[in-house]
């Protein structure tokens, strides 16, 4: 049985490569003549980042991704999502 150890450096390198791929393919392209909205709903954020509802909830709970709740809906600033993807820790 082969055992491979994954180091923290390996994970950091993978994270950087993955974020570069996401940026390169621009997972949420704008339609012709459409401007980027400044606030996105939860389902749009999940689609943009390719994450589950549980992962998005974890980002909210631990303060990684700020949000605003209006009625029963959560809204996220597009700028905060960009910062999260760029790896900026001070959102």
Tens digit of pLDDT for each residue in 32-61? Answer: 555 567 889 999 999 888 899 999 999 999
Handedness of CA 75, 80, 85, 91 (dihedral sign): negative
pLDDT of residue 42: 94
pLDDT of residue 56: 94
pLDDT of residue 16: 85
Q: Tens digit of pLDDT for each residue in 7-38?
A: 999 999 988 888 777 766 655 555 555 556 78
For residues 60 and 36, what is the distance between their CA atoms, to the nearest angstrom?
22
More confident residue, 2 or 74: 74
């Amino acid at each position: 049985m082969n055992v491979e150890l994954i180091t923290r450096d390996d994970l950091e390198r993978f994270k950087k490569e993955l974020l570069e791929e996401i940026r390169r393919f621009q997972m949420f392209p704008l339609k012709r003549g459409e401007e980027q909205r400044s606030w996105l709903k939860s389902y749009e954020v999940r689609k943009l980042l390719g994450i589950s509802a549980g992962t998005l909830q974890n980002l909210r709970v631990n303060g990684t991704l700020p949000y605003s709740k209006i009625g029963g809906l959560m809204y996220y600033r597009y700028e905060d999502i960009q910062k999260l993807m760029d790896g900026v820790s001070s959102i």
